[in-house]
Structure 1
Amino acid sequence: MGEVTTSGLDGGAHPRPTLLYVEDHPASVSVMRSLLELRPQWRFLTAARLDAGLVLARTEHPDLVLLDMRLPDGTGSDGLAALRSDPATSGIPVVILTAGPPGGERPLLEAGAEQVWIKPHDLSLTLDFLDEIAARSA
């Protein structure tokens, strides 16, 4: 199913917001992991393949999914459609990350993506969005 990693897991009584990052490029995962050190309250889950990411979304119920547009076993569009069609995951905010040129965001937004970020995206905006999602989840 592909590599799945977790960090920031705790057995505490207070639930922590969870970010699921579905991304196959280790450097991008490393950057996000480092960025989350600035938001240590977040639990971080990663999957390098779409199939593994969908399983994690169903079982872990993350507060946010960051979904790469190009994965070894599917596209961000495929993943978004699967997440939106499953009652267990249909309400999870999804951000699609794409290296493609700007201009293709509208179909993804119409399909249910909360946002579409063009790589490389502004990391300070990522932190702001994580804060917004954490506030919604509280």
Structure 2
Amino acid sequence: MPKPARQTVLYVEDHPVNVLLMAAVLERRPDLDLVVANTGAEALRLAEGLSPVLLLLDLGLPDCHGSELLPRLRALPGCASAPAVAVTADADFEIEGTSFCELWPKPLVIDQVLQRIDTLTGSTAAAPPSQRSFAPPPARLALASFEPAWP
């Protein structure tokens, strides 16, 4: 069965700079759409029926820890088997005993992130600049209402 032309990555992150960075990274993968939630509750709401091909979860969310959110996401239809990555500045976090398949430490190393995204999703790189059209790329970042957790 061929994979759909476009697939979704769900990124749960409350820091706007990290969201912008991941959006820029995924611009290099035109077959992936990025959907962002900035809280665990929002992630659960957005994930309903989303069937993401990859889950990227920050651990320090304003309303829960990412490791507490992951089992709740796994219980939703379409999220049970998607690879899940802990994206965190917490270098001491151990993924053993969780259903995270990997940990990507912040600050992210972009080339490594792209390589892992390709491996985990089967995505492919965008065409080289000489083969791209000059039309602006379509808006692919679906942000729900973004309210930072800090004052």
Aligned residue number for residue 8 of structure 1: none
Aligned residue number for residue 135 of structure 1: 122
What is the aligned counterpart of 2:110 among 123, 128, 136? Answer: 123
**1:21-57, CA deviations, whole angstroms, 9 ceiling, x for partnerless residues?**
1001000000111111111211110011111112222
What is the aligned counterpart of 2:89 among 54, 75, 99? Answer: 99
Judge conservation of contact 2:89–2:107 (CA < 8 Å) in 1. Answer: yes
Aligned residue number for residue 3 of structure 1: none
The answer for unaligned runs of 5 or more in structure 2 is: 124-151
Q: Which has the larger radius of gyration?
A: 2
Aligned residue number for residue 69 of structure 2: 79
**Which one is further off, 71-80 or 49-58?**
49-58
What SS does structure 2 have at the residue aligned with 1:33?
A: helix
What SS does structure 1 have at the residue aligned with 2:91?
A: coil
The answer for unaligned runs of 5 or more in structure 1 is: 1-13
Q: Is the helix fraction higher in 1 or 2?
A: 1
Q: Which amino acid aligns with 1:56?
A: L
What is the TM-score with the length of structure 2 in the denominator?
Answer: 0.72
Greater RCO (CA < 8 Å, at least 6 residues apart): 2
What SS does structure 2 have at the residue aligned with 1:52?
A: helix
Q: Give the Cα separation in 1 of the matches to 2:28 and 2:74.
A: 30
Q: Is it true that 1:41 corresponds to 2:31 in the alignment?
A: yes
Q: Which amino acid aligns with 1:125?
A: Q
The CA deviation at 1:96 is 0.7
Judge conservation of contact 1:109–1:115 (CA < 8 Å) in 2. Answer: no
Q: Is it true that 1:114 corresponds to 2:120 in the alignment?
A: no
Matched length? 120
**1:69-118, CA deviations, whole angstroms, 9 ceiling, x for partnerless residues?**
0111101111112123445422111101121134x22xx33211010122
Judge conservation of contact 1:67–1:76 (CA < 8 Å) in 2. Answer: yes
Q: Give the Cα separation in 2 of the matches to 1:18 and 1:88.
A: 11
**Identical aligned residues as a percent:** 36
